[in-house]
Amino acid sequence: MNITIPPEDLNQALGKAILETLTEDARNTIITDAIAYLNAPNSRGYGGDKTTPLQDAFREGVRRLTDTLIEDVLKESERYQQVRSEIAGLIAQFPPVSSDPELKGKIVTLILDHVQEAQRVLERDRGY
């Protein structure tokens, strides 16, 4: 028998078990140390900015939100719709796919998603 527990449930159960078995002093120490860690500047290598893990987490959250917003705007753009239409036209040339509009739509979406992901990787690697 293979039992699978979702990671969120496992983390919640583990956290609850740890906090319920620790003394109040131990819990306070863990919380104080965690807060100190989140607020302690980390060096970013030679001559790099010193940021805290909390600042890094905030920046990552903003970056992800920005990526999502930009992606939403791009998907509504005329150029995106044009490229989508061109890909759909190419896919329509394959008889097994062209007869199933739902399958055709899924394939077009997958292609565009992978192109966008490749573009993100290139931009990240180039430092944009």
Q: What is the pLDDT of residues 56-111, one digit of tens each?
A: 888 888 888 888 887 777 777 787 778 878 888 877 777 776 677 888 788 888 88
- For the cut 70, the answer to whether the pLDDT of residue 48 exceeds it is no
Q: Which amino acid is at 119?
A: Q
Find the mean pLDDT for residues 21-39: 87
Q: Give pTM, 2 decimals.
A: 0.45
Alpha-helical (H) ranges within the chain are 7-21, 24-39, 53-75, 78-91, 95-98, 101-126
For 98, counting Cβ atoms within 10 Å of its Cβ (0-12 exposed, 13-18 middle, 19+ buried), the class is: middle
Share of residues in the chain with pLDDT > 90 (%)? 2
Q: What is the pairing mode between strands 42-43 and 50-51?
A: antiparallel
- The full set of domain ranges for the chain reads 77-128
